[in-house]
Structure 1
Amino acid sequence: MALPDGVELVVFDMAGTTVDDLVDGEPLVIAAFRAALKAHDGTETSFDQANAVRGYEKKDALRRLLASVRGESASTTDSEIDTLFDIFKKELDKLTSRMNCEIKGTSEIFAELRRRGVKICVGSGFPEHVVKTIVENLGWSVDAAFSSVTLGKGRPDPIMITTAMEKFGVTDPKRVVKIGDTQVDIEEGRNAGVFCVSVLTGTQSREKLEAAKPDCIIQSVADLLDKRTDTEVKPSDRSEVG
């Protein structure tokens, strides 16, 4: 099974993990990144460039994206990133209202875990109003929903996980699971010391996810309670991750 024994809390990523975030065939955040840079100064960015920064705190992601387009040596000011972030949020708002489809099986997994007494949280690097809109659009029943923007730190900082643990009085990280579709989700989970599960429903490849050494990889959240995991990483491999 993709969950350890005695789990008390599961923290799910949203876009690409529990939310089917495709807008006209392109993931929401990638579409918003590309639209924001084009609106900012006409910069054209590729899917691969935008996908490479997916999962990071959004200002950090935008800074990394600009560097990949302009070159690492090009200077970028905090003021420009703030301006770009404001544009990004506007582009995101235009697209969010269309988010009304979950990854198949998500609600059923939520319901079964809650039936077993497990606390369910969702978290995202989207602004809080976007997180709330998506949860409402999907009609989810979860114990908490977090925005790293509101909490003040973005992934790979584990603040969403540690906040969830504090909220529900879970003190043992071995009883906590983080589930996501990006390398940064794995880094976030590692930084919190929790069990990490990767899903293949996002845009990052199996090879990229395996490089970050999650505890296991499954096809989607629908397979979370299946006794068969798609890929299991040996403890000896995981010990190499700092």
Structure 2
Amino acid sequence: MKQSYSGLVKAIIFDWAGTTVDHGSLAPVRVLQQLFAKRGVPISEAQARRDMGVLKKDHIRKILFEPSVAAKWRDAVGHTPTEADVESLFANFVPLQLECLVKYSVVIDGVAETVARLRKRGIKIGSTTGYTRAMLDMVLQPAAAQGYQPDCAITPDDVGAGRPHPWMIFANAIHLKVEPLEAIVKVGDTPVDIEEGLRAGVWTIGVARTGNMVGLSAEDFSALAPAQQASRLESARTLLAAAGAHEVIDAVANCERALDAIEARIRHGERP
């Protein structure tokens, strides 16, 4: 006999950079640009951001084999890119990323307070990331000191593959002891976050302003003219909605109204 379901959200699984920490998802971008520049192959911020959210080695691979970057690599290094180059770049990436993570990984305004309110609603807090375990471990303690500590923090290293595969979400569900999957909401700032959630069969919320799609620190975003802010936000919201997000918000601090909307949809018979 199928277990009845009240329609309440039981767990939220947050992304890290651009969602709960590192407003604008700056740490990975800065390091990726530095990494390629050191090999004589400068990349744009747009190229560094395009595949944000996937496991970092996969991210490096996608950048390196992009045709325009591959051509620059051939000219600078003397051969077309290979998997050995991916491994070499990733080996150089890790210490650079570890060095800058704590500097950039400040908890985004409103996250700690919002998570405290969610817990009062009986909601468990999980997380997934494109960072390796060593990288995430550098972020966990500073985040906790700033008031944000999820109940579960899963990395691709823990499950054998990163996004868009759903394995990290399944591991969260097991660790948090939450079922059914439709009682879970995935919150993230990139299209691949949304794809991860959809593949797992959970609800998804896209985060526009604080994340990779806008790509600015809080200070830099505030310095934009209102029309520029509106344009950037509209573009980010459109891209996240097009990726299949069930709801789109500007920041984690706005997620409670989105959760209310999702619970209303569940009670009306909708499923993710």
Is the shorter-chain TM-score for this pair beyond 0.5, marking a shared fold? yes
Q: CA 1:219–1:93 in structure 2 vs 1: closer, same or farther (change >3 Å)?
A: same
Give the 5 Å matches for 1:122-201. Answer: 122-139=127-144, 140-200=148-208, 201=210
What secondary structure is seen at the aligned counterpart in 2 of 1:153?
coil
- Residue 12 of structure 2 aligns with which residue? 10
What secondary structure is seen at the aligned counterpart in 2 of 1:217?
strand
Q: CA 1:227–1:19 in structure 2 vs 1: closer, same or farther (change >3 Å)?
A: closer
RMSD of aligned residue pairs (Cα, Å):
2.5
Cα deviation, residue 99, structure 1: 3.3
Name stretches of at least 5 consecutive residues in structure 2 with no aligned partner.
Answer: 1-5, 75-79, 214-235
Q: Is the 8 A contact 1:132 1:145 kept in 2?
A: no
- Residue 27 of structure 1 aligns with which residue? 26
- Residue 203 of structure 1 aligns with which residue? 212
Give the 5 Å matches for 1:47-196. Answer: 47-68=45-66, 69-70=69-70, 75-139=80-144, 140-196=148-204
- Residue 221 of structure 1 aligns with which residue? 252
What secondary structure is seen at the aligned counterpart in 1 of 2:154?
strand
CA distance, structure 2, for counterparts of residue 27 and residue 12 of structure 1: 18
Q: Tell me the TM-score normalised to structure 2 length.
A: 0.76
Q: Is the 8 A contact 1:180 1:186 kept in 2?
A: yes
CA distance, structure 2, for counterparts of residue 83 and residue 202 of structure 1: 28
Cα deviation, residue 35, structure 1: 1.4
- Once the two structures are superposed, residues 46-81 of structure 1 have per-residue CA deviations (whole angstroms, 9 ceiling, x without a partner) of 00111111112212211110122125xx85322221
- Residue 43 of structure 2 aligns with which residue? 45
Q: CA 1:90–1:228 in structure 2 vs 1: closer, same or farther (change >3 Å)?
A: closer
What secondary structure is seen at the aligned counterpart in 2 of 1:97?
helix
Cα deviation, residue 208, structure 1: 1.8
CA distance, structure 2, for counterparts of residue 203 and residue 98 of structure 1: 17
Q: Which stretch has the larger CA shift, 159-168 or 74-83?
A: 74-83
Q: Tell me the TM-score normalised to structure 1 length.
A: 0.85
Q: Is the 8 A contact 2:249 2:258 kept in 1?
A: no
Q: Which structure shows the higher helix fraction?
A: 2
CA distance, structure 1, for counterparts of residue 260 and residue 180 of structure 2: 24
CA distance, structure 2, for counterparts of residue 138 and residue 227 of structure 1: 24
CA distance, structure 1, for counterparts of residue 186 and residue 258 of structure 2: 18
Cα deviation, residue 100, structure 1: 4.7
Cα deviation, residue 191, structure 1: 0.5
Query: Which structure has the larger Rg?
Result: 2
What secondary structure is seen at the aligned counterpart in 2 of 1:124?
coil
- Once the two structures are superposed, residues 190-232 of structure 1 have per-residue CA deviations (whole angstroms, 9 ceiling, x without a partner) of 00000000011212122221221210101110011136999xx
**1:184 partner amino acid:** V
What secondary structure is seen at the aligned counterpart in 2 of 1:226?
helix
Moved over 4 A (4+): 227-230
Q: Which stretch has the larger CA shift, 125-134 or 177-186?
A: 125-134
Q: Is the 8 A contact 1:162 1:192 kept in 2?
A: yes
CA distance, structure 1, for counterparts of residue 126 and residue 258 of structure 2: 23
Q: Is the 8 A contact 2:198 2:204 kept in 1?
A: yes
**2:115 partner amino acid:** F
Cα deviation, residue 150, structure 1: 3.4
- Once the two structures are superposed, residues 166-192 of structure 1 have per-residue CA deviations (whole angstroms, 9 ceiling, x without a partner) of 112223111000000000000000000
Name stretches of at least 5 consecutive residues in structure 1 with no aligned partner.
Answer: none
